[in-house]
Structure 1
């Protein structure tokens, strides 16, 4: 198995044929899988672009695998190295897992993930390891069971008699009784989900230790029906006080099943892709961390608000829905609109506009009018070329009192991103947070 790790926007050289080489055949297999993945687009260029002698990673991070080859794409996170050496890759991988845990509300912060990262495990293998650990621990307390309705023809009555079937289908067989009864069963939707994840991960894991763990788990679930991932009944998964601890496993299973494992049927490329758009991940991460920072105050965060439209027709029909990334609100009043952008903003000395997109400015102006909010912010990840994270520019919107601030946030480990976000918002909209929210943020 050939494995390569590359950072977003970096190139992956295609090597001459040879043992352990990443060849043109391997590159074609990865591109074929990229075309099938949701983020890839029709030509797969949303994940990898083909430059003949090299592939270039785009802004989707995660793992893409094809027969005989896997490619791990890591984000560029300032302060954690370039991603070209094992140490920086381990640090970036751990931070990416932290971002996924926060954004998707997953229990990934515990366990020996940091130690495993040093051992050259990819993001996928780390997530598989954590899933196996969590599932094994949950099963020590017993596999979930529920009473399930059964209908069987038995020699003695069990439960209640199905009168209609008894006197129609079994009319000529009085020695059999049409019984309907409830029986405690492990063949339920939650266990079918866990078996589906175990089966899928066994197909894509390249770790000997993970394969052993998955075989042991598959044996435990041998009596549970095998259901394809596309046919799983999520609506039938019931979590109550008796099985609440399975909530974290359900959420992690949902994340892992986002990967597209294709078979050769219908001409689709065999492979697996567990990928995340960094724009979306950065947005969800910032929204969650800011919500934590404001906990205990009279402010709250609304992510992806979809209530308003730009235009309305004479008949009242609304057109062009807006969807700002983050709103900071007090009650029904919007105090701050934030749009996150996973791109490197330029220093003022290099570009007076700092590389800010004109379309993004127009979009923020529309948000200010629609939400009657004078404080607007475009938020980018920090990088070393800007020297200090925080506010990088403040502008007045022509013709009104609205103000647009451009700013960066350092997402590398440190004193706490929640505190940094709160300080940044307080600088843009001073006097909006209570002392309680500051104390909460400093503990994050």
Structure 2
């Protein structure tokens, strides 16, 4: 087994045969860049924006983030207290396999979540029954050529076999197939699997879990479902001859950072600004060119956008925003008729990015604001609060607030 270990965006020179290099490029081109080296027996392997564990044939690649391990777990799950991931954070510093640390994190979070009991809710059922239950579905019943039995019924069933529990169960079954999970965590997962025996084993995707509507009744499920979604979206298992299973788990740090900043800003700006993420709009009058800003802000009760932002995970080496990112933000500010916008960058090392540029002949002000992930989780939280206050102030400065009774619907 060839074992490679390096950090995101780093390049390592590796002795690989042509066959192995081509195989790695074809199977892992989404996560790695494989290019020839001046030495014919050496290949340069460059990590992209993904971190985690990647298995290709007999090659195992471990890619670690450049941020602090505890802040990686902070990004993985918004809303859990810092002490909740301390053990996994410590384990990850010793063992660079992110997948095993995440499965342990999921097992412990799930145990705490289900200690309050399984969430139950009403689910609409349409069944043909010998006795009437709920309401008769006359449309289906009358389409049966006057057959009196069975009766087409429509009723609500109070059950634990709901999407929330099916998602947790699917992630449990996937986690139990991962090799190397500590016995204590495997026992935790098995106990919770038994407790969910009434829940059906139906295919569930991460996108399905994203559509869950949270209320006060299921809000305590949110952290566990967030971790389940990560596992369902990013964990790939491949069965091999000999009864072994190879597991690849790769997390896109761009997506992770974007989701983290969005949710934290939404929480910090609650009551001051409404935060919309990934909302479709158009660059042109003819609506032929679609745009999708990461962040749009408007005042509660008003449909008028007062500020726009875009989130980027990586700074350039000289700590100045990339030209393509400025062009993108300029398009957003122009299409939304705003005098300025902000690029939110992840800062892990190096100096602070440029604070503002003003576009020639257009007067658009394009700000760059960093979120430094090299500090403690408490320091990261303070940076988000400062950023939220800055956005709220700029929103007031750019476009005066309209009283809600005068605002027209969008």
| TM-score (norm: length of structure 1) | 0.65
Give the corresponding residue for 2:371. 409
- TM-fit CA distance, 1:377: 2.8
Tell me the equivalent position of 2:407. Answer: none
Output aligned runs, 1:284-295, within 5 Å.
284-295=259-270
Aligned to 1:7: 7
Describe the shift of the 1:118–1:220 C-alpha distance in structure 2 as closer, same or farther (beyond 3 A): same
How far did 1:289 drift? 3.1
- Residues 384, 67 of structure 1: CA spacing in aligned structure 2 closer, same or farther, 3 A cutoff? closer
Alpha-carbon contact 1:147-1:183 (below 8 Å) kept: yes
Contact 1:192 1:232 (8 Å CA) reproduced: no
Give yes or no for the alignment of 1:341 onto 2:312: yes
Counterpart for residue 403 of structure 2 = none
For the structure 1 residues 117 and 425, does the alpha-carbon distance in structure 2 shift closer, same or farther, using more than 3 Å as the test? same
Give the Cα separation in 2 of the matches to 1:197 and 1:371. Answer: 41
Q: Distance in 2 between matches of 1:3 and 1:219?
A: 36
Give 1:329 shift. 3.2
Residues 1:193 and 2:159 aligned together:
no
Corresponding position of 2:230: 255
User: Whose radius of gyration is greater, 1 or 2?
Assistant: 1
1:237-265 deviation line (CA, Å, top 9, x unaligned): 89776655334333332222102535469
Secondary structure of 2:233's partner? coil
Match of 2:54 in 1: 64
User: How far, CA to CA, are the matches of 1:224 and 1:70 in structure 2?
Assistant: 35
SS of equivalent to 1:385: coil
Match of 1:301 among 275, 281, 299: 275
**Is the 2:234–2:251 contact (alpha carbons within 8 Å) kept by the matching residues of 1?**
no
Q: CA deviation at 1:131?
A: 1.7
Question: Runs of 5+ in structure 2 lacking a partner?
Answer: 36-41, 400-410
Contact 1:292 1:418 in 2 (8 A): no
The answer on 1:421 being equivalent to 2:381 is no
Which runs of structure 2 are paired with 1:182-331 in the superposition (5 Å)?
189-209=163-183, 210-221=185-196, 224-229=199-204, 244-263=219-238, 271-297=246-272, 299-307=273-281, 309-313=282-286, 318-330=287-299, 331=302
Query: Structure 2 CA distance, aligned partners of 1:76 and 1:237?
Result: 32
Q: What stretches of structure 1 of length at least 5 have no aligned partner?
A: 17-22, 36-43, 78-91, 171-176, 349-353, 434-444
**2:292 alignment partner, SS class:** coil
Residue correspondences, number: 371
CA deviation profile, 1:17-59 (whole Å, cap 9, x unmatched): xxxxxx9999888666xx3xxxxxxxx3220123454532111
* Deviation readout 1:58-107 (Å, 9 max, x if unpaired): 11223334577653423333xxxxxxxxxxxxxx22211212323xxx54
CA RMSD for the aligned pairs?
4.6
**Residue 76 of structure 1 aligns to a residue in which SS?**
coil
- Partners of 1:25 and 1:109 lie apart in 2 by 45
